[in-house]
Amino acid sequence: MPPIRKKDPLKSAQIEGKIQLAISDLKNGRILNIREATRIYDIPRTTLRDRLKGIEYKGEKRANHHKLTQSEEDSLVKWVLDLDRRGLPPRHSLVRDMVNYLLLQHGKPQVGKNWVTNLIKRRPEIDSKFARKYNYERAKCEDPKIIQEHFDRVRDAISEYGILPEDIYNFDETGFAMGLCATAKVITGSDRYARPKLLQPGNREWVTAIEATNSTGWAIPYINGRSIGSYRMLILDGHGSHLTAEFDRTCTENNIIPICMPPHSSHLLQPLDVGCFAVLKRHYGQQVEQRMRDGFNHIDKLDFLMAFPKAHTNPPSKSIKQYTIILLTNTSKYTSIRTPDNYNKETYK
């Protein structure tokens, strides 16, 4: 009886990779028919037809209760570990959302509430742990260690993805009370004992402004088309609105590597918080004061949209853009947008 020739799993995987490329080209219209695809990629025509009919590759087949293929599950675990390394360990719900997104691409039903728990049981490289509640006073005591670990994460990501300083960004949001003037020194009569009162519209409605800056000191409206390297880094706080499957998918599709700052550290690590927002708010308050002197007794959203750009570009003395460049160049030396070799707590006081 002649010996049975065993299939080389590596060669089979390579052929399967070619088949997937051929399927992609057929769906995108780059190749017109199966005959041409089999000739270009040198793959079996019957196998390509089977894949187009939905018959899975045997190397990817798993037990019926597995929703993802082996390679999809491996990619999911790699994604979880990558998020954990960058200070963004995902919740069960976020992992479930990502799995459901993958299944949606293939028209498969969604996973149940226990799917993530079962994934953790069969994958020893990941585990489920309760996130530690972080007391603010304790955070202050542990600042040097926590912040140094953050800088190490940033440095590792820069090295891994070859990110240039010009491609490192930070964004942050801040609130403006639309009708509040800036606190300032004023000239009064010398016989006055109490602090003078400055009339203001008094509208306490809040508006949120989002600013994005570059580590080289430029404040720019958009970053598309401005990147120099293949990847961009985005340093942000750990706000819950950032930790979604949609946000992570958008970053992945645009070669953006998000890095999360430690909790209770924005007063030390956010360049905009440290150096820019106070100046911007002061100039906005001066714009509100000027409108009061011009006879405006109420500031609404339209008034805010008129005053805010002026505060941003034409304050009474220097341009806020000049302030931003100077402040960012200085603050980025000591904040998370540029990583010092060694964290020194005295520098951050």
Kindly report, residue by residue over 145-176, the tens digit of the pLDDT.
777 888 888 888 888 888 888 888 888 877 77
Structure tokens at 57: 């590759």
pLDDT band for position 130 (cuts 50, 70, 90): confident
61 vs 25: which has the higher pLDDT: 25
Q: Is 42 helix (H, G, I), strand (E, B) or coil?
A: coil
Q: Class for domain 138-348, per CATH?
A: alpha beta
Query: What CATH architecture is 9-60?
Result: Orthogonal Bundle (1.10)
Q: Determine the pLDDT at residue 312.
A: 75
The residue among 207, 154, 212, 206 whose CA lies nearest residue 335 is 154
Instruction: Count the helices and strands in the chain (H runs, E runs).
Output: 13, 4
Determine which of 26-30, 34-38, 325-329 has the lowest per-residue pLDDT on average.
325-329
Mean pLDDT (whole number) for 96-104: 86
Flag whether pLDDT at 258 surpasses 80: yes
8 Å CB contact between 7 and 54: no
Question: Are 128 and 84 spatial neighbours (Cβ–Cβ below 8 Å)?
Answer: no
pLDDT at 12 over 50: yes
Note the pLDDT of residue 186. 41
Mean local confidence (pLDDT), 121-140: 70
Over residues 236-248, the pLDDT tens digits come to 876 656 667 778 8
Say which residues have a Cβ less than 8 Å from residue 336's Cβ, sequence separation at least 6.
150, 151, 154, 170, 235, 259, 261, 269, 270, 271
Alpha-carbon gap, residue 55 to 46, rounded angstroms: 11
Q: What is the pLDDT of residue 203?
A: 55
What is the token pair recorded at 127? Answer: 């585990």
More confident residue, 324 or 142: 142
Q: 192 pLDDT exceeds 70?
A: no
The predicted pLDDT at position 317 comes to 45
Cα(294)–Cα(198) distance, rounded to whole angstroms? 14
Per-residue pLDDT band at 328 (split at 50, 70, 90): very low
Distance separating alpha carbons of residues 72 and 253, to the nearest angstrom: 17
Closest CA to 37 of 27, 53, 25, 47: 25
pLDDT at residue 128, rounded to an integer: 84
Structural element, H or E, at residue 321: helix 320-331
260 — pLDDT class (breaks 50, 70, 90): confident
Supply φ then ψ for residue 76, to 5 degrees: -65, -45
Other beta carbons within 10 Å of 44: 11
pLDDT-derived band at 188, boundaries 50, 70, 90:
very low
Residue 60 has pLDDT above 50, yes or no: yes
Mean pLDDT of 40-57: 83
Looking at every residue in the chain, the average pLDDT score rounds to 72
Q: Which residue has the higher pLDDT, 40 or 332?
A: 40
Domain boundaries, the chain: 9-60, 70-122, 138-348
Q: Quick one: what percent of the chain has pLDDT higher than 90?
A: 0
Please report the pLDDT score of residue 320 as a whole number. Answer: 44
- Using DSSP's 3-state secondary structure scheme, residue 214 falls into strand
Residue 190 has pLDDT above 60, yes or no: no
pLDDT of residue 339: 53
